[in-house]
A and B are shown apart, each in its own frame.
Chain A
């Protein structure tokens, strides 16, 4: 369920500008698996059902942190392709 909450929109805007300006912000963006959309949360909020996206994660506008054990188990299959790169 998405929201049309002005406060949430402002939090998203603040978080995005902080990311774009490569500055730490008071809010961060996460992908909420339950709502299946991007949400802004206050820094330090516990988000067990979310993938974290923060300005500090990587040199690009956003990066997800995958934490599933299943994915780690599958990683050899994925990276096998990478090893074949000429």
Chain B
């Protein structure tokens, strides 16, 4: 069950996405199940399409929301094997994939997640991850060579 503050926050998150130019993304409510998610289809700089999906956990905004690449599915590495096969990978900045093989992007360490981080910033990290992924495809080098790893502690 969502609190009034959570619902208000999610409305605000949607407004921020629209006002800050992230109009390819929206926050949605599944009224039947009374669940929330944020998603959208976006383009990389090179013009390739990707689907990004953020599942809103019941503990949001205190709990880090997972972000998945929904399209392409499967998402392949430079060697043409599914990226989801790696599971948790420091080299590729990924976490445990979904049960149907969607890659989960490592966007924030749990220990460093806090409630003032906006979904807009999470999506921004998704966009950067996508650019780094395309650099991986172009060069064959691991994604970690193109994105900075978040420090363990403050």
Contact = CB atoms under 8 A, between A and B. Distances in A.
Interface of A: 2-4, 8-9, 12-13, 16-17, 19-20, 22, 29, 31, 33-34, 36-40, 49, 51, 53, 55, 59-64, 66, 68, 70-71, 74, 77-82, 85
Describe A's contact surface by its main secondary structure.
Answer: mixed
9 contacts: A12-B45, A13-B139, A17-B145, A20-B145, A38-B128, A60-B108, A64-B120, A74-B12, A85-B114
Most buried by A among B8, B16, B144: B16
B150 A77 contact: no
B127 A31 contact: yes
A29 B121 contact: no
Nearest to A9: B46
A51 B20 contact: yes
Interface residues of B, number: 45
Interface in B26-64: 42-47, 61-62
Contacts of B150: 59-61
B78 interface: no
A82 B8 CA distance: 14
B145 A39 contact: no
